Amino acid sequence: MLPSPAKIVVCAGARTPIGHIARSLAARPARELMRAAVAAILERSRVPKDALSGLLVGWVGQGFDAPNIARVTLLEAGLPESAQAVTVQNNCISSIESVAAASRFILAGEGDLFIAGGTESMSHLPYTIAGHRGQKELRSLEALKSAWAGLPQSTSVRIIDAMEQGLTDPVKNINMAGTAEVCAQMYGISRQAQDAYAHESFRRTIEGWNKGFYASHVVPFEADGQVVLDKDEYPFLREDLVAKPQMLAKAPALFDNSAYRIQDFYRDFGAHIQGRAYGPDTKGTVTLFNSCGRSDGAAAVLVTTAPRAKELGLETLGEIKGWGFYGNNPAHMGVSPALAAPLALKRAGISFDALDLIELHEPFAATVLSIFKIGRERFGHDWEAKHREGKLNPHGGSIALGHPLGATGTRLLLNLLYGLKANGGRFGMIAACAGGGMGGAMVVERY
């Protein structure tokens, strides 16, 4: 091994617009979205393709249409056939992991110029047939077709929605929205506070688009010579929520309605709600409007060393100062950024108060507001003050933008780097949670 002591920097970055599930980008598979992000990086940076050491891609909903999507994308994008290609799966922090992995490769001397990012087409997450090939219905494709009509009634073969299965933790048997309600109940986060936070996310996102911030790094997605989508889709589908915040209150609670009451939620998941018990005044709080949308999109950045960036004449956006990953109870997964952040800050040698900008993933308003609470109480980190001062998600977040699972980490990094460039700040941090109880954070310094 020939380790490198060089500073790790991030240069050009770009992403596709984020499409809402089953809408504008629905027909575009994850590999096509990632290829578009890579093409945008190459065009914006003018870096020679043969200079690249490899490609690392985060992808959650991995499918066999593109086994090792990093390798497939690398070849389809015309990058060097000999280059390294690695697909990363760490749920919603997959593309934070891909950037960290690119940095590790450089530090280990395995290359000096990588594209790292992530992709997701939730519109392509499949319905699957679960069973094993020893069962008579599944011994061959012909046997499956012959048994097709009886599969819904089969006791040995199951037809599964892979998206719902993937968004449910198999250890604690609770879906991601359920983990948000657990946090809301544990930390006393009201429905009104969640709706107010969601409203502000939409307001800031639309303002960011209208003021031209997102034009700095979002590249219109084109196919067959036509622009398919030129800006993030979901915030403008929900634009009325900004002018009419009272609409947020009309959304039904996911776990407190005529079909499933909050009493039922406590019966099923009360063991995870530490320090709280159901009472006559208990209400459900999590809704579709104060949760992030399901999405399609891809994002990427160029990771290299400071000397290599100078040699190639690349614009350097920031230096990676440190990162950290931290696991917690899967039923409390949404608060993991508050736990990963201290680790990343310690490794970077930077205090929370020194941060000029934070980009925090917003899977649910409930989890963000829980982070505000435990960050302050456990670590003295006042995330809420940063938000109030416009230093946390100043241009909106995942609740409004959407959440293309494998791409969100790099989307956060792009927001951070171009946000620091726009406001002149010095230090910034991204942080996100992931299903299974993983949290990731990364600290950068504007170069």
What does the DSSP assignment read for 273-329? STT----TT------STTBPPBEEEEEEEEEEEHHHHHHHTPPP-EEEEEEEEEE--
164: CB partners within 8 A, 6+ apart: 175
Segment 328-356 shows an average pLDDT of 98
Nearest to 362 by CA among 98, 137, 180: 180
Q: CA-CA distances (angstroms) from residue 145 to 148, 158, 212?
A: 5, 15, 52
Dihedrals phi, psi of 223, to nearest 5 degrees: -150, 135
Q: How many residues does the chain have?
A: 447
pLDDT (0 to 100) of residue 63: 92
Helix (H, G, I), strand (E, B) or coil at 158: strand
pLDDT digits (tens, 9 = 90+) for 361-408: 999 999 999 999 999 999 999 999 999 999 999 999 999 999 999 999
How far apart CA 413 and CA 116 sit, in angstroms, is: 11
Residue 131 DSSP label: S
Q: What percentage of the chain exceeds 70 in pLDDT?
A: 99
Beta partners for residue 304, in sequence order: 9, 113
How far apart CA 197 and CA 199 sit, in angstroms, is: 5
How far apart CA 51 and CA 226 sit, in angstroms, is: 30
294: CB partners within 8 A, 6+ apart: 20, 21, 122, 163, 402, 403
Average pLDDT, the chain: 97
How far apart CA 7 and CA 24 sit, in angstroms, is: 40
pLDDT (0 to 100) of residue 4: 66
pLDDT (0 to 100) of residue 3: 67
Residue 163 near residue 22 (C-beta atoms within 8 A): no
Report whether pLDDT(447) > 90: no
How far apart CA 334 and CA 349 sit, in angstroms, is: 25
Segment 49-74 shows an average pLDDT of 97
pLDDT (0 to 100) of residue 6: 84
How far apart CA 410 and CA 161 sit, in angstroms, is: 27
In degrees, rounded to 5, the angle at the alpha carbon of residue 113 between the alpha carbons of residues 299 and 314 is 80
260: CB partners within 8 A, 6+ apart: none
How far apart CA 224 and CA 222 sit, in angstroms, is: 7
pLDDT digits (tens, 9 = 90+) for 249-274: 999 999 999 999 999 999 999 999 99
For 306, left (φ over 0), alpha (ψ -120 to 50), or beta?
Answer: alpha
Residue 121 belongs to what H/E stretch? strand 113-121
Q: 247: buried, middle or exposed (CB in 10 Å: 19+, 13-18, 0-12)? A: middle
Residue 57 DSSP label: E
pLDDT greater at residue 5 or residue 234: 234
Q: What percentage of the chain exceeds 90 in pLDDT?
A: 98
How far apart CA 277 and CA 68 sit, in angstroms, is: 46
Q: How many CA atoms lie within 13 A of 274 on its CB side?
A: 4
Nearest to 120 by CA among 144, 146, 145, 92: 92
pLDDT (0 to 100) of residue 383: 98
52: CB partners within 8 A, 6+ apart: 79, 80, 83, 113, 114, 115
Report whether pLDDT(1) > 60: no
* Neighbour tally for 421: CB within 10 Å: 16
Residue 58 near residue 94 (C-beta atoms within 8 A): yes
Note if the pTM is more than 0.95: yes
Pairing mode, strands 295-305 and 357-360: unpaired
How far apart CA 316 and CA 13 sit, in angstroms, is: 10
Band of residue 356 on the pLDDT scale cut at 50, 70, 90: very high
